[in-house]
Amino acid sequence: MTTQLDKLKHWLLAARPKTLWAAVAPVLIGTAMAYADGVFHWPSATVALVLSLLIQIGTNFANDYFDYIHGADTEERTGPMRLTQAGLISPQQMKKAFILIFALTFIGGMYLVWRGGWPILLVGLLSILFGILYTGGPFPLGYKGLGDVLVLVFFGPVAVGGTYYVQALQINGIVLLAGLSPGMIATSILVANNLRDIATDRKAGKRTLAVRFGKTFSRLEYLFMLVSAALIPVMLYVYTREHPYAMAAVLTILFSLPTVTTVFRESEGVTLNRVLADTGKILLLYSVLFSLGWIL
């Protein structure tokens, strides 16, 4: 018999907590840059963090539902358990859940729209829309190889820039360039995921970049994203001659060596599941080092 505690655990698993650093990191960076510029606004920063987490959770619920509908999640899958496919949450429940989460996101976002105007409304609507269209709709973008671009943009410049904008009520190119870093590391998480799932994705007709271009391409993409992200603070310092301590984030290259080594040696199974979790930790570490360095 399934208890209420069991049900709660199932929903927590469906939210994929190890992926949520991708939602936290850009908000942290955007807020740190706003603080350094003297425009920190804690109510906006707090709401932006909550909404970013809700969008990520809603997207995870939607992916769980639509991947099950499309047949991408099967018993052959070696990744973390998907709750709809496992029969622990019904498709109807999962569909209602992601609709509810996105509805709450829209309602909560009205405060930021009131503060930041139509640009924030546009960003919010697009974030919700692409969270659904990533695996849903007649043209699921993640199934067409566009997932990497979406993650790079929306977990990068859009999230960092949006967080900064709702506090400063303006934006600049330095913030958007800094936003590339969390987007790149978040993309590397997706790359590891798609590398692991090449065989099952190919069977399901899910044409990720890993399926289209193969394992070598994905491994090089993973390496490129992590190294490029770590070098962004150097580029920012060379351009601005300010915030030198933010270059401490370059140290994440050292912490990335074990995951890069694993990605180049392995291509499936539980080993790459650990890479996903470890890359999430690298993203958190990067955001902390960059943010503290930028403020100092």
Residues 234 and 247 sit within 8 Å (Cβ to Cβ): yes
78 has pLDDT over 70: no
Q: How confident is the model at residue 101 (pLDDT cuts 50, 70, 90)?
A: very high
Which stretch of 58-72, 99-113, 139-153, 204-218 has the lowest confidence by average pLDDT? Answer: 58-72
Per-position b or e across 236-272, b if 16+ CB within 10 A of its CB:
bbeeeeebeebbbbbebbebbeebbeebeebbbeeeb
Q: How confident is the model over 68-76, as a mean pLDDT?
A: 68
- 271 three-class SS: helix
In the prediction, which pLDDT does 72 show? 62
Which stretch of 86-90, 106-110, 128-132 has the lowest confidence by average pLDDT? Answer: 86-90
Q: How confident is the model at residue 74 (pLDDT cuts 50, 70, 90)?
A: low
In the prediction, which pLDDT does 76 show? 58
Residues 283 and 186 sit within 8 Å (Cβ to Cβ): yes
Q: What is the pTM of this model?
A: 0.94
Residues 293 and 252 sit within 8 Å (Cβ to Cβ): no
Q: How confident is the model over 102-112, as a mean pLDDT?
A: 96
Percent of the chain with pLDDT over 70: 95
1 has pLDDT over 60: no
Which range, 75-89, 127-141, 175-189, has the best average confidence (pLDDT)?
A: 175-189
Rounded to the nearest angstrom, the gap between the alpha carbon of residue 84 and the centroid of all alpha carbons in its chain is 21
268 has pLDDT over 70: no
CATH number of the domain at 4-295, please?
Answer: 1.10.600
Q: How confident is the model over 167-187, as a mean pLDDT?
A: 97
70 has pLDDT over 90: no
Domains of the chain, residue spans? 4-295
